Structure 1
Amino acid sequence: MTKQQIWNLYETYAEAWKLASSEEREQALAQIIDDSIQYLTPEFQGGREAILNDMESFRKKFPGAHFAVEDMSSHHDVALFTWALVLADGSVPAKGHDSLRLSPEGKIVSITTFPPSGPKPLP
């Protein structure tokens, strides 16, 4: 896949978080994620259902918010993205990262979300 194709794939994923209905989110995900998807965040772990549950939780916690894609690095079948949480008022309280693995068919087979970085842990 080209860098542009990978970017477009991830933007479709980020846009799915904005969709109002669970049916719309399910349809958007069906286009871009593999059936064997592995999803891992600090709060969620699983497959397609975990992503949908996370999206529903996000929509309830942050009405009108969305994710903006800031940058990307990729090689082989792995891509790393920086995202920004944009609240309904336009403020950006957090930025984090998603690491993706891609199938040869061009679908996402794993997503690992990293919350905002923190300072070095104290001993």
Structure 2
Amino acid sequence: MNAHTPLVARYFAAWNETDAVRRRALIAETYAEGAVYVDPMLEGKGHEGIDTMIASVHERFPAFVFRLLTDIDGFGPYVRFSWELVGPDGTVAARGSDFAVVDATGRFSSVTGFLDAAAQPD
């Protein structure tokens, strides 16, 4: 098990949480206060911005879940892993890789996502 496995598990739990109160608690446990998430389609700054971003994904892809595709790779404060966003029927809406930096408190200070495949906008 990689030292960052529990943090990445919370990351996925936050992305998959539909209850806003529980999601905000997971975000606070996973991301530093001023953390930034950015990928080609989304950007969130701070806990509120990240929560808004995740909520928008739930609106666009109801009942879809993110799941880890690869082992968690990392050294020092740097982490990378790949994931996919999957619907109840097995449809993959997106697939990509995230690269993150962990701060001294053990939370993400930044996450940069790269999309390998994504559903076309409606």
The TM-score range, normalised by the shorter chain, is 0.7 to 0.9
- CA offsets per residue over residues 17-49 of structure 1, 9 Å max, x none? 221222111011111211121221222242222
- Letter paired with 2:101: R
- Letter paired with 1:70: L
Match of 2:86 in 1: 86
Q: Matched residues in 1 for 2:44 and 2:55: separation? A: 15
Q: TM (normalized to structure 1)? A: 0.83
1:52 aligns with 2:12: no
Match of 1:32 in 2: 30
Q: TM (normalized to structure 2)? A: 0.84
Q: Matched residues in 2 for 1:94 and 1:110: separation? A: 21
Computed over aligned residues only, the root mean square deviation of the Cα atoms, in angstroms, reads 1.9
Larger radius of gyration: 1
Match of 1:107 in 2: 107
CA contact (8 A) 1:16 1:25 kept: yes
Structure 1 spans left out of the alignment, 5+ residues: 119-123
Structure 2 spans left out of the alignment, 5+ residues: none
| Identity value in percent | 25
Q: Matched residues in 2 for 1:26 and 1:93: separation? A: 24
Q: Matched residues in 2 for 1:61 and 1:29: separation? A: 20
